[in-house]
Amino acid sequence: MCSDSQKAPDPGRAPRSEMISDYRRRTDDATLQSMVRATIDGIGIEVPFGTTILDAARMIGVTIPTLCQHDNLCIAGVCRICVVEVDGERTLHASCSYPITRSIDIRTHTQKIRQARRHILELMLSEHVGECYACCRNGHCELQKLASDYGIDSYRFGHRTEERYGRDDSSPSLVRDMDKCILCRRCVRACIDLQEVGVYNVFDRGNDTRVTTFMDRPMWEVICINCGQCINHCPTGALHSKDMSDDIWDAIDDPTKHVVIQTAPAPRASIGECFGLEAGTPVTFQLNTAIRHCGFDRVFDTNFAADLTIMEEGAELLQRLYRTLAKGEEAPLPLFTSCSPGWVKYLEYFYPEMIPHLSSAKSPQQMFGAVIKTWYAEQNGIDPFDIVTVSLMPCTAKKFECNRPEFNDSGYKDVDYVLTTREMAQMIMEVGVNLPDMPESDYDDPFGTATGSGVVFGATGGVMESAIRTVYELVTGESVESIFDYLRIEPVRGFEGIRYAELEIPTTTVVPELLKRVVPDFDWLAGTTLKVAVAHGTANAKRVLESIRSGGEFADCHFIEFMACVGGCLGGGGQPIPTSRAILEARARGIYQEDERSAVRKSFENPAVVQLYRDFLTEGPLGDRSHELLHTGYTVRTKLMV
């Protein structure tokens, strides 16, 4: 298997320190490659030509406060909190946007600078409606922290108490409270730079400047994919997820309701951050115990449904390949994954003509909800009307997904509520539990048995890795470990924005009983080179889709994994804030460690999945009942009667 991670540039930006160290390699101009000497607060330093004052200061451990600056985003220089003095220049300068191109002497914390920063903060607070104790970001707000750092304990310029814009809670995923906006433009840049969606823009000037949507329309009426990256990059409470925990508490307190929760893999490597643990610390089994303390009746593992997704999506891939390679028919290839609801919505909005390429398989969340309210309800003698299904997800778009009107194939709303990682942490805190102190406990049966393949769904490339583990072994009969040590499929791992890999199918074996109604044999696959790709962040998705549209290199792929957020689920809009490249890498390590500790690491070997097909989905993947409960109407149903 070979890989090529240079297919497209990576907008999932590396940390600024790495960007600086790479600076000289990114230019051929001898002048720009030269080093420039600067003095910062009396400390001498040599930096590459063009390095900003802010980055130079960080190199020597000098802290300069910022608000509009974010390592993931382009330079804005609008908040002016990071102002510094440059010897010989009359005015203060924003250090985040001042390039060092000559030898200069810089001061970062003089009386003049401190006073300027205080005045800027006091002016921001004068327009900041609301009290901190009643804000969802209380204790985690960058404006609040800076006000504390600079000793601001009164409103020098007054404090507006009446709302000017009001709250927009029309979206199922997020709430906009522009009376708390400080005009840093981080949401604007995140939506444009990282996602290339462009929901937000800046309108008017002076005191009337505001960040708003197209024609000031509510969020439900604009082209928003609900990914939540604007929330993750907002420094205040101007943007936050739509929290349904009060409704969940009501269900838990209702003795007539049976409340179950499924937990996705990504939050297990991140929720510990809300309790002071390092990023990537796995707390899977402590989390189970903490959730039970909240009063949930059953705690299930979404990884079970991830394994189920691989079986259905893998069968769909084989079916499309069979129609194309063996029968000479036209089937929409490459096949696109459908696990990320933000990505699905992006495709629907911007590339609707490519919807036939989208897998008809529902996401693991929605598959699980449908199984809970059918097979699980039947097995336990519970009226589905009385079951409340909750999902713990890293993703704000999952809140939108569970409310899509077509996701009621069980006869009821398949998933009732979604909790983000941050919201689940808050519920745990409400019951007086410190997550790291909890004893470990396992998931509840019958959905407590999952595989490492389900776990790696949480990382970008994980869906592809899981699919390869299952499809390769079922088709060739050879152990995947024979070509990938410890089942680490490195070519699809990592944080490059777009990754490409090829997998040789040297020989084939007999079709297993479970797939005999999907394809009659695998002979037509022998000698084939399976071409796959992975893209995370919709800006990268756009590059891949444009390549396919123009007949470029990705048009020859057979299977492509798309995730709406940079870093995949690990960087989802519901994850703990902040999320940086280093934090994403730490969370990924936690995910892969849990995978390697799993007793079973291939989806088709999951005993709970085998039981479900034996007892309930008796026709196997892509059977009538599977289509009814586990798939959407995106693609034309084609059944091979063999």
**Which residues form the catalytic set?**
313, 316, 339, 359, 398, 401, 406, 569
Helix orientation angle between 302-321 and 462-476, rounded to the nearest 10 degrees:
60
User: Which amino acid is residue 547, in one-letter code?
Assistant: S
Copy the structure tokens of residue 532: 């796959």
Q: What sign for the dihedral angle of Cα 169, 175, 181, 186?
A: negative
Which of 579, 503, 578 lies closest to 536 in space, CA to CA?
A: 579
Return d(Cα 320, Cα 315) in angstroms, integer: 9
State yes or no: cis peptide before 578, omega within 30 of 0.
Answer: yes
Q: Compute the distance between CA of residue 495 and CA of residue 584 in angstroms, rounded to an integer.
A: 9
CB 324 within 8 Å of CB 272 = no
Coil/strand/helix, residue 561: strand
Amino acid at 339: C
Structure-token pair, residue 140:
């985690």
Q: How far apart are CA 168 and CA 181, in angstroms?
A: 13
> For residues 179-196, b (16+ Cβ closer than 10 Å) or e, as one string?
bbbbbbbbbbbbbbbbbb
Write out the two tokens for 86. 């440059």
Matching residue, tokens 């600079």: 150
| Cβ atoms of 267 and 592 closer than 8 Å | no
Pick from 233, 215, 202, 229: which is nearest to 78 by CA?
Answer: 202
DSSP 8-state code for residue 336 = E
SS3 category, 420: strand
| Residue of 164, 158, 126 lying closest to 143 (CA atoms) | 126
Q: In this structure, what DSSP letter does residue 443 have?
A: P
Tokens found for residue 119: 């005045």
Torsion of CA 231, 236, 239, 244, to 10 degrees: 90
Residues β-bridged to residue 201: 212
Q: 529-536 and 387-393 as β-strands: parallel, antiparallel, unpaired?
A: unpaired
